[in-house]
Structure 1
C-alpha cells in the first residue's frame, strides 16, 4: 500500500491488489493493533483553529497570496476559499464523517501538506477509526493547554495514564531555532467565526467521546458540556463504544 495509483497516473490514491481508494485501505491503526495490541496510545492535540493558522504559515505557498506574502488577509481569502470549497464539496458527496473528507479532500496530491490544514484538525474522525480497534481505556488524550499550564501538570497526566511514578520536577529546554522570527499577525475575527462553525460538529463529538484525561477540559471544548441536552450526545457515544467493544471481541 502506498501513495500512488495502480494505473500510474493518480498519485493521490492508495493502490492494493488492483483496488484504488482516496484514503488508506489499511491504516496505521490496523498494523499497530497486530503488532502491539496492549499499547497505551498517548495523543496530544491542539485547538484546531490555532493549529490550522500555524499550518498555513508553515506550509502554504506565499506565491498563492496577494503580494506573495502570507498574512491574515491571505488566510481568510485565498486559503479558506480553497480549503472550504473543496471540503464542503466532499462533505456534500460523502458526508462529514467519511474518512476521505478528513484524509485530504483538497488538490490531487493528498500528501501535499498545505491542503490538509483544516482536515488534520478533525480529531474525532481519526480517533474514531482507532477506537474501532483499541479499547477506550488504552487512550491517553491531552491538549497542548495541559502542558502550557505547567510541565509537571501535563507530564503528570501522562504518567498517570501509563501507570508510572511521578518525577519530582521537569526542566524545559528551549529548542526553537525560529525564536527571532517576527510573530504572525492575529487571525481575523471573521476567519475565527467561519472556522468555529466548520469545526463545531467535530469538536462536539470529540467532547462527547469523554476520552481520558481530556474529556472536555480545554478552553475550546468546555462550552459543549454546558449546553442543554449534551448528556444525550455522551450517551450516544457510549452506545457506539459498546458496539465497538462487542465487534472487537
Structure 2
C-alpha cells in the first residue's frame, strides 16, 4: 500500500457502527420511498447474491469487485469490516489502528476524544474545548428512519446471522469482543 510506503508511521482511526444498524441507516438515508418490507427483500436478495459470489470467487473478490457490489440491492458489503481491516493489518501494525465504535462515541464522546488524543500522542483538549466540538453542527442526520420506524425483527435476525462470522473475525483482529455487536 502506497500510504505505508510514504508514511510508515501513519495512525489510522476507524469509526465503525453495528453493521446491521449501519445497513438500515444507509438504506433509509440514501433512498426515497423506502419501506421495511422492501428493505427486508433487498437484504435477502443481496445476501443470496453475496453467498453465490463467495462460493465462486471468495469473499474478498465479492467485497472489492465493483461489478459484483453494484448488483447488490443494498450495500451489504460495506459492513464486512473484518475484510477491510485485514487489508489494513497486512500493511500496518495493529498498534497504529484505533477502531472506535460509533455507539461508544455516542454514549461518551469526551472519553472517545481523550482516547483519540492519547492514540495520536497529542495533548488532550480541556473539557470546554471538547464540549465545543461535541456541540458543533451535526452532519448526515436523517429523519426518514423515524418516519419509517425500526427495522423488522425478522430482518435484524437475518442480517445479524449474515454478519456474525465477519464480526467474530473482527473481534479477534481487534482483540475486543464488543465487535461481535451482540445486542446490548
Common topology (TM > 0.5): yes
Quote the residue 2:100 is aligned against: 142
Quote the residue 1:85 is aligned against: 48
Inter-CA distance 219–102: structure 2 relative to 1 (3 Å threshold):
closer
**Mean Cα deviation higher: 180-189 or 133-142:** 180-189
Structure with the bigger RCO (C-alpha within 8 Å, sep 6+) is: 2
What is the Cα-based RMSD across aligned positions, in Å? Answer: 2.6
Quote the residue 1:117 is aligned against: 75
CA contact (8 A) 2:13 2:98 kept: yes
Question: Are 2:62 and 1:101 aligned?
Answer: yes
CA contact (8 A) 1:43 1:141 kept: yes
Inter-CA distance 157–113: structure 2 relative to 1 (3 Å threshold):
farther
Tell me, in whole angstroms, the C-alpha distance in 1 between the residues paired with 2:169 and 2:180: 16
Quote the residue 1:204 is aligned against: 168
Tell me, in whole angstroms, the C-alpha distance in 1 between the residues paired with 2:157 and 2:56: 24
- Segments of 5+ residues of structure 2 without an aligned counterpart are none
TM-score, with normalisation over the residues of structure 1? 0.64
SS for the counterpart of 1:155 is helix
CA contact (8 A) 2:81 2:170 kept: yes
Quote the residue 2:158 is aligned against: 194
Quote the residue 1:53 is aligned against: 24
CA contact (8 A) 1:124 1:202 kept: yes
1:3-42 paired onto structure 2 within 5 Å: 30-42=1-13
TM-score, with normalisation over the residues of structure 2? 0.84
How far 1:114 moved relative to its partner? 6.7
| Higher Rg of the two aligned structures | 1
CA contact (8 A) 1:103 1:116 kept: no
How far 1:109 moved relative to its partner? 7.0
- Segments of 5+ residues of structure 1 without an aligned counterpart are 1-29, 63-68, 224-249
SS for the counterpart of 1:39 is coil
Tell me, in whole angstroms, the C-alpha distance in 2 between the residues paired with 1:32 and 1:133: 9
Tell me, in whole angstroms, the C-alpha distance in 2 between the residues paired with 1:167 and 1:134: 27
Quote the residue 1:216 is aligned against: 177
Q: What is the total number of aligned residue pairs between the two structures?
A: 178
